[in-house]
Amino acid sequence: GAVVSQHPSRVICKSGTSVKIECRSLDFQATTMFWYRQFPKQSLMLMATSNEGSKATYEQGVEKDKFLINHASLTLSTLTVTSAHPEDSSFYICSARDSGQGARPLHFGNGTRLTVT
Amino acid sequence: GENVEQHPSTLSVQEGDSAVIKCTYSDSASNYFPWYKQELGKGPQLIIDIRSNVGEKKDQRIAVTLNKTAKHFSLHITETQPEDSAVYFCAAIRFGNENLTFGTGTRLTIIP
């Protein structure tokens, strides 16, 4: 089945530093990937839609200069949390949809637990 | 836009019994409804999905039903097992749109 790999699974960083999270589609091409943030015991909150070869589309209230997204290839999107602060601590999850699959199910990575100290 | 409501928020079921989770959606144009299972510390995993041209779909112990007229769909898990314990999310989307709209999640606990 379709697999989305997300790395790292867990990262601890100091306040003020930047952290990059990678999302890869392993056995399919994805022109579009999605980045979510999930707070404890809550649903997934869409942060942005990552489009291969073009700028990401950010949801209202999400700072594009703080959460930099790059989707340079059909199998890789990255999310960089810049100048991280403790309030950025959260569970970040990416997802991707097989561009060539008509049913278009969405597959998720296993998430990245970010802790900013 | 689409709005998806999910109930109950928590559900405890004796092992071997059935569990039912219900969702309603607002956009009558939505035509694809996946269900995801999320275990602690992991990303959501697609467990079953249904398109609007089908009323029911079954995969072993898991089934999903869809009532387009009432705009609601349900997840049914039979013969529950401890490993079914997780948070379950329903979602809805209209083909042509890119973003899924998720329900608020149901924490299912199977009591041994």
Q: What's the confidence (pLDDT) of residue B2?
A: 87
- Helices then strands (H, E): number in chain B? 0, 11
SS3 B2: coil
Q: How many CB atoms lie within 10 A of CB A47?
A: 24
Q: Give percent of chain A with pLDDT exceeding 70.
A: 94
Q: What's the confidence (pLDDT) of residue A53?
A: 84
Whole-angstrom distance, CA of residue B68 vs CA of residue B79:
27
Q: Report CA dihedral (B44, B86, A115, A66) to the nearest 10 degrees.
A: 30
Are residues B51 and A103, on separate chains, in Cβ contact within 8 Å?
A: yes
Whole-angstrom distance, CA of residue A57 vs CA of residue A41:
26
Confidence band of B99 (pLDDT split at 50, 70, 90)? confident
Q: How many CB atoms lie within 10 A of CB B1?
A: 7
From chain B, the residues in CB contact with A49 under 8 A are 98-99
